[in-house]
Amino acid sequence: MSPQTETKASVGFKAGVKEYKLTY
């Protein structure tokens, strides 16, 4: 796995958590 993919996944995960907290 390349660092770029890891960063994208990390950013996506953080964004998902933010949306999850805002929604619930």
pLDDT of residue 1: 57
Segment 1-23, tens digit of pLDDT = 566 777 887 888 888 888 888 87
Cα atoms in the 13 Å half-sphere on the side-chain side of 17: 5
Amino acid at 22: L
Q: What is the pTM of this model?
A: 0.42
3-state secondary structure of 7: helix
